[in-house]
């Protein structure tokens, strides 16, 4: 636990408050097919980055305090 505190990773290591199981399962089933930093979703290849993933799943971006 000390290493987590020393590196300021407390937020990173917290359990999520809530999530939608179907979205998580769909995401991970699609990521196993990821190629060249892209993954297949909604019948198309999309960039494999946080903004694109959030947009595809209609999830708002999360901003962390520095």
Domain boundaries of the chain, sorted by first residue: 16-66
Looking at residue 66, its pLDDT comes to 61
pLDDT of amino acid 29? 75
The confidence score (pLDDT) of residue 64 equals: 67
- CA Rg, the chain, in Å? 15
Structure-token pair, residue 28: 């991970």
Predicted structure pTM score: 0.48
CA–CA distance, 12 with 16 (Å, rounded to integer): 10
Predicted local distance difference test score (pLDDT) of residue 57:
79
pLDDT digits (tens, 9 = 90+) for 9-64: 888 788 776 667 777 777 777 676 677 888 877 788 888 888 888 888 788 877 76
Q: What pLDDT, on a 0 to 100 scale, did the predictor assign at position 13?
A: 81
């Amino acid at each position: 636990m000390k290493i987590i505190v020393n590196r300021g990773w407390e937020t990173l290591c917290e359990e999520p408050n809530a999530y939608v199981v179907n979205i998580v399962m769909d995401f991970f089933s699609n990521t196993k097919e990821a190629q060249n930093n892209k993954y297949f979703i909604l019948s198309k290849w999309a960039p494999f980055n946080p903004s694109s993933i959030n947009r595809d799943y209609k999830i708002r971006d999360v901003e962390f305090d520095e």
